[in-house]
Amino acid sequence: MERSLYDRLGGIDSITAVVEDFRDRVARDDRINQKFVRTDLGRLTKMLIDQVCQAAGGPCTYTGRTMKAAHAGMGVTSGEFDALVADLVATLSQFKVGKTEQGEVLGVLGPLKADIVEVDSSAVGTPLPPTYQPAPALVR
């Protein structure tokens, strides 16, 4: 049987390292970081790890909101979505994830674009609307 994407990515430790690098890359990226000004980064990091792990066939369960609910009212543009994908590709390449696996990761995430983008524009660096309601911080 073909190994799962989860195993080929190197399991939970590799996925965690990739998500943390990606999160820090996004935080430095002025094309998109304004959207995260009110976000609890601890929660976001855990949710991204669980989402990628589960989507890759790993032993995790994503417990966050749907992509539509999480991004509703955020005013994300197509240009900002593409910027985030470019950051992800940069991280995957830095971690020497193979082209096949990169394609599979993007194949899972690409279709979510329709649930996330609200503004059909190439503009980047647009602010988070004051009306956006962030998720509550994780209680541990």
Shorter beta-carbon distance to ligand HEM: residue 1 or 6? 6
Distance (Å) of CA 97 to CA 10, 59, 93, 103:
9, 20, 6, 10
* 8 A C-beta contact, residue 60 and residue 54: yes
Q: How far is the CB of 134 from ligand HEM (least distance, A)?
A: 3
Cβ closer to ligand HEM: 63 or 93?
63
CB of 1 to ligand HEM, least distance (A): 27
Residue with Cβ nearer ligand HEM (1 or 139): 139
Q: Give me the residue label for tokens 């417990």.
A: 63
Residues that bind ligand HEM (CB under 6 A): 32, 35-36, 38-39, 43-44, 47-48, 51, 64-65, 70-71, 76, 80-81, 84, 109, 112, 116, 134-135
Smallest separation (angstroms) from ligand HEM to the CB of 96: 22
Q: At what angle do helices 41-55 and 99-109 cross, to 10 degrees?
A: 110
Residue 44 Cβ, how far from ligand HEM at the closest point, in Å?
A: 5
Residue count of the chain:
140
Contact 132, 118 (CB under 8 A): no
Tokens 């279709």 sit on residue: 111
**Which CB sits closer to ligand HEM, 1 or 140?**
140
Residues 6+ apart with CB under 8 A from 86: none
